[in-house]
Amino acid sequence: MNLHRRWLALAGVVVALVPVLVSPASASSTPRSRPVVQLAQTLTWTTDNEITRYKTAPTTAVAGETTIVFENSEATGNTTGMPHTLTFDTSTEGYNHDVNLNILANPFDANNGRHTATVTLTPGRYRYFCSIPGHSSMVGEFTVAGGPVDTTPPTVSGSVSGTRDTAGNYVGSATVTVGASDAGGSGVASVEYQLDDTSFVPYTQPVVVTAIGDHSVQYRATDVAGNVSAVGSVQFRVVEPDDEDTTPPTVNAAVSGNRDAQGRYVGSATVTVTATDDDSGVARIETSVDGGAFTVYTAPVVVSSAGAHMVHYRAVDNAGNQSPEGMVGFTVVAADTTPPTVSGSVSGTRDVNGNYVGSAFVTVTASDTGSGVAIVEYSLDGGAFTRYPAPIVVSTAGAHTVRFRATDNAGNTSPEGSVSFTVVTGDTAPPTVSGSVTGDRDANGNYLDSATVTVTASDAESGVATVQYAVDGGSFTTYTVPVVVSSLGAHTVSFRATDNAGNTSLVGLVNFTVVRRPVPDTTAPTTSATVSGNRDGNGSYIGSATVTVTATDAQSGVRSIEYALDAGPYIAYSGPVSVTTTGPHAVKYRATDNAGNVAAEQTVTFTVVAPGSDACPNSDTRPTVVIDGVDTGVANVDTGNGCTINDLIAENAEYPDHATFVRHVQSVTAPLVTNGVITRRDQGAIVRAAAASTIGSRSFHAFA
């Protein structure tokens, strides 16, 4: 440390302000005549997002066995996952060093940030701090009371020094030095003095008196237990100096050497002292290292032992005048060639696949037993290295890699370490998936010789994990490149996508026809229609009926299908038509092939009746929705008219093909989602089970 001198001129009294080292006092408790009672106690420290202070901490305690509680959690205000330590100081002078405690806590550790330890405290003071780099302002102390009461006052003494004439008077000035000690055990708390009966003031350093005349300095001391010593005193006279030299030399000191990033001297420090005297000249310079005896200074003082050091210095001129003491403080650390040790860990909430949901917290720790850690750095996903101040919060969905390294105060840098992980959002929405067909086409839109199906998927939250496809009702296969279909005829390619949170989209479809090079086609497509739904004893459809139209063309292929409901106009058919209006209905339908041939109009008729209280007297009441032996896990609830979801699916009905059955399941479950009977996720599970079944792949029988 550097010594800063200030001088106060008060009524001719000059007081030099320098530090006074006072030994730490032992705390007292009960009088000697009473037994000491050891009480079980709990001391609690808490922390939050701050790195400059503990949120709460004790200031006093009693001696004996003690439960230490250190909590650094969301409950105490830590919302960022920042780690802190509660570390007891075992080296700084003036504090108890008999408890070795070092607790690291963060809200995501195995104890959720709350840790306990049992220690035994003794009377005195303890210092504690946070050892995380950058948290050095988190420090404090507390006092422990215990043991017998100190009833013995301190012992105090005073002495006068300076240049004296033959009569014993002090020439120009006199310096009064006061010393105190305490045998009672609690230690000296304060020392006071007063000059010439003015008033007592704190004694912090030797008192220099320059006013000419007779003087008396009284002094006293008080210990930590409050005992005050008897007042002591010294008397003296200060006289005017004659023309001879009465001015002490001017003395200065400088410290040099190689320094680390924290200002400590690596290997050794050299203290150079200089002094000047314009009158009689400098007779000698003296130095004292770390409280040792003063010795004559002949060359710069080299200090090479590791640790904190204080060098005091003074000079005497040829007239015998001695300068006030100066001092310089510094720290020497051993030369360090070993890089720090650095490690990283990832914490946060994880899903079943080990991904971190919402965000991940990366904590980097570093240690160095030599010169100490100077800086810790990290790089996120290949970015530039930057200083690590606190745990890194990564909330962007996707795969990530954090690299890290540390450099000590001697300039040694550790090898890079890294941790890799994946972050997913709290994602409940399935991906968006679509398919497109490309290839050479004839005038009717048929694909010549082959068609290429390209599937694309996106997910704005956790991201797409897998994409799958199935050709013509086959098994789903992982999609990696566009699918080429070259077999002649009409085809259906189904596709779906799953995101990193496990959500799977509904099955999408693309339909197309592959034909040979143009062949004259004069035959219209073949068309058919089926009606599905829950039927009552009269054959009427309860609540709704679904009309599915199919068309085939063995030559140029089907270009379009149209239908007209009741007296309405023909419109393009894109999928099963759900009719919910009660009463009799007629659906006309026709198809056109790619050669322009139009099939003859056909009609299917049916009746829709309102749901009754017992629309399905032989209802399928299995507890969950089961399709072709596959249990979806979705509750098989009553849909509101006495029919269950299994009744609506009607897995035992006849369907012309597998795709028709899948579309039927999509159609009857869509109103259940709209009406809140099931969730969209439930619908997805049901449709996936339908797509995975073999229903419709069997021989076709017309609906009753």
DSSP secondary structure letter of residue 185:
S
> Is residue 476 included in any domain, yes or no?
yes
- Regarding whether 352 and 327 lie in a shared domain, the answer is no
- Regarding whether 508 and 489 lie in a shared domain, the answer is yes
- Regarding whether 266 and 201 lie in a shared domain, the answer is no
CA–CA dist 291, 497 (Å, integer): 77
- Regarding whether 135 and 63 lie in a shared domain, the answer is yes
Angle between helices 658-674 and 680-692 (to 10 degrees): 170
Q: In what order do the strands lie in the sheet with 583-593?
A: 541-542, 602-609, 583-593, 558-565, 571-572
pLDDT of residue 615: 63
Mean pLDDT of 41-59: 94
Mean pLDDT of 225-235: 91
- Regarding whether 538 and 507 lie in a shared domain, the answer is no
User: Do the Cβ atoms of 203 and 175 come closer than 8 Å?
Assistant: no
Total structural domains in the chain?
Answer: 7
- Alpha-carbon torsion angle 427, 430, 434, 435, nearest 10: 120
> Is residue 32 included in any domain, yes or no?
no
Residue type, 284: R
> Is residue 36 included in any domain, yes or no?
no
| Distant-in-sequence, close-in-space partners of 543: CB < 8 Å, separation ≥ 6 | 533, 534, 580, 608, 610, 611, 615, 641, 643
- Regarding whether 438 and 526 lie in a shared domain, the answer is no
Mean pLDDT of 542-570: 93
pLDDT of residue 149: 67
> Is residue 34 included in any domain, yes or no?
no
pLDDT of residue 480: 95
pLDDT of residue 537: 55
Closest-CA residue to 118 (of 72, 67, 179, 165): 67
Beta strands in 57-212 (DSSP E): 60-62, 64-71, 84-88, 102-105, 114-121, 124-129, 139-145, 155-161, 170-171, 174-181, 188-195, 201-202, 207-209
> Is residue 244 included in any domain, yes or no?
no
Confidence label for 18 from pLDDT (cuts 50, 70 and 90): very low
- Domain CATH code at residue 439: 2.60.40.10
pLDDT more than 70, % of the chain: 91
- Regarding whether 139 and 46 lie in a shared domain, the answer is yes
Q: Greater confidence, 553 or 151?
A: 553
pLDDT of residue 701: 39
For residue 108, give its domain range. Answer: 41-145
Mean pLDDT of 84-94: 89
> Is residue 531 included in any domain, yes or no?
yes
Mean pLDDT of 304-309: 89
pLDDT more than 90, % of the chain: 60
Confidence label for 612 from pLDDT (cuts 50, 70 and 90): low
- Regarding whether 14 and 155 lie in a shared domain, the answer is yes
Mean pLDDT of 569-593: 94
Mean pLDDT of 18-26: 31
Judge whether residue 266 has pLDDT over 70.
Answer: yes
- Regarding whether 601 and 634 lie in a shared domain, the answer is no
3-state class of 452 per DSSP? strand
Total count of residues recorded for the chain? 704
End position of a domain, from candidates 487, 515, 543: 515
User: Do the Cβ atoms of 410 and 339 come closer than 8 Å?
Assistant: no
Judge whether residue 9 has pLDDT over 50.
Answer: no
pLDDT of residue 519: 66
**pTM for this model (two decimals):** 0.27
CA distances from 584 to 304, 534, 559, 604 (A): 107, 15, 30, 11
End position of a domain, from candidates 462, 493, 515: 515
End position of a domain, from candidates 145, 178, 196: 145
Judge whether residue 550 has pLDDT over 80.
Answer: yes
pLDDT of residue 150: 73
Taking only the tens place, the pLDDT of each residue in 147-176 is: 556 788 999 999 999 888 778 898 888 999
- Regarding whether 381 and 416 lie in a shared domain, the answer is yes
Judge whether residue 4 has pLDDT over 50.
Answer: no
- Regarding whether 308 and 231 lie in a shared domain, the answer is no
CA–CA dist 191, 68 (Å, integer): 36
User: Do the Cβ atoms of 193 and 200 come closer than 8 Å?
Assistant: yes
Judge whether residue 20 has pLDDT over 70.
Answer: no
Judge whether residue 10 has pLDDT over 60.
Answer: no
pLDDT of residue 120: 93
Q: In what order do the strands lie in the sheet with 7-10?
A: 7-10, 13-16, 207-209, 174-181, 155-161
User: Do the Cβ atoms of 269 and 309 come closer than 8 Å?
Assistant: yes
> Is residue 35 included in any domain, yes or no?
no
Taking only the tens place, the pLDDT of each residue in 455-505 is: 999 988 778 889 999 999 999 999 999 999 999 999 999 999 998 878 899
